[in-house]
A = this chain, B = another copy of it.
Amino acid sequence: MIDFTHTKQLFQLPGNVVYLDGNSLGPLPKSAPARIEAMLRDEWGEMVIRGWNRAGWMQQPSRIGNRIAPMIGAPEHSVVMGDTLSIKVYQALAAALELTDDRNVVLSDTGNFPTDLYMADGLLRSLDRGYVLKTVEPDAIVDAITEEVAVLMLTQVDYRTGRMHDIAALTEQAHSVGALVVWDLAHSAGALPIDLAGCNADFAVGCTYKYLNGGPGAPAFIYVRPDHANIVRPALSGWLGHEAPFAFDRDYRPGLGIERFRVGTPPVIQMAALEASLDIWESVDMADIRSRSVELSELFIAEVEARCPMLQLASPRDAARRGSQVSFKFDNGYAAMQAVIARGLIGDFRAPDIMRFGFTPLYIDSDDVLAAVEIIDDVMSSRAWDVPEFHQRMAVT
């Protein structure tokens, strides 16, 4: 079993607050500043251009992809880093469509993160070939997987409620009607065990700044099933996805396998931060993380429900159907979250009425959960949210 007392010491946590928002942006690994400074001075500073070879920057997207792979049940050489999640969604969906050209429906659900739907919509419009982006309620997905569906594109864990789709079952069902699947693991990677290879998933994408603690703007990852990777011509065919980038050929020839999903110059400094975090991740077992996350979440639900009757559980009650966050509904959720934050508990509000709290066992323990419940109880019972200042919405929350 992981020594969570030890792992908590590995992070710089913000002073005087309980941080239940690691599902939005993970905290700073204490080792990251020194690692980045060494990269800056010894690599960028001293090697400059030679860093691409000497410090291995050029291979970094694949090397880090190989470190992410075991966390999502992917084989070596099937994951590569780069760009943002939005860009990787676009590439994954475009590749899936290339492999399924006789059907016209891309199926998703209303629980998918908006940018996935925006990117899909933009791609389908530009292709202008009669594709339809069909979204149904999450519970209706099973019935909507029909033979019209080219690609099923879902986020495993709903960013609002934490409701979790069954990757294995839905992938199998999609395959049974001849559709391919694209899984967005934004709220899954680093939160729970994932077995992409065991589920035979076709494509997956995710970000590294949430549970994986890679820092603000950390790069995304893309997984492509090895038997697909070598037969698609990637959308966004940039030079670093070319078979021989430094031949400077005029024609694009896709690189081997997952390498072709690289696009431009990798964000070397961001990746140094991510590597500091991955050192921690490689010392822990995801099954332990998951069981502790369930313990903390169950404790939180039980305490909040016992003490705050105004809050209605928005997450599935069954832990097996829930990611690593717990959400409650409250009509004045925006103001209540402002009041909660003002008292030292950081969570998120998600429109229209969701108060969201993330459980990240690497650095959150049961004392934090109990302290969080104290604050929520205090805010709710004192109606602390019912003051004008907490109702003024900022542009960004």
Contact = CB atoms under 8 A, between A and B. Distances in A.
A206 interface: no
Interface stretch (A41-49, A141-149, A168-176, A321-329): A41-49
A216 B86 contact: no
Contact of A33 (B14, B41, B129, B251): B41
Contact of A51 (B36, B119, B216): B216
Contacts of A216: 44, 51-52, 57, 265-266, 268-269
Interface string A22-53: 00110110001100110011001111111111
Contacts of A115: 238-240, 264
Given A264-B85, A351-B247, A28 B41 contact: yes
Contacts of A350: 248
Contacts of A267: 217, 219, 267, 270
Given A85-B264, A135-B250, A264-B83, A238 B129 contact: no
11 contacts: A14-B46, A14-B50, A28-B40, A50-B346, A58-B395, A86-B263, A86-B264, A114-B242, A122-B234, A128-B129, A216-B269
A236 to B, nearest CB: 6
Contacts of A86: 236, 238-239, 263-264
Interface in A77-106: 83-87, 90, 94
Interface of A: 12, 14-15, 19, 21, 24-25, 27-28, 32-33, 36-37, 40-41, 44-53, 57-58, 83-87, 90, 94, 110, 113-115, 117-119, 121-122, 125-129, 135, 207, 209, 215-217, 219-220, 233-240, 242, 245-252, 263-271, 273, 346, 348, 350-351, 394-397
A44 B215 contact: yes
Nearest to A32: B40
Contacts of A346: 48-50
Given A25-B48, A126-B127, 12 more contacts: A14-B45, A14-B46, A28-B41, A58-B395, A83-B83, A115-B238, A119-B236, A122-B234, A125-B233, A215-B269, A217-B266, A269-B269
B126 A94 contact: yes
Nearest to A346: B49
Interface pairs A-B: 5 shortest CB-CB: A84-B264, A115-B239, A86-B238, A217-B267, A216-B268
A239 B118 contact: yes
A84 B263 contact: yes
A134 to B, nearest CB: 12
A23 to B, nearest CB: 10
A46 B15 contact: yes
A281 B94 CA distance: 40
Contact of A48 (B19, B51, B119, B265): B19
Contacts of A118: 237-239, 242, 252
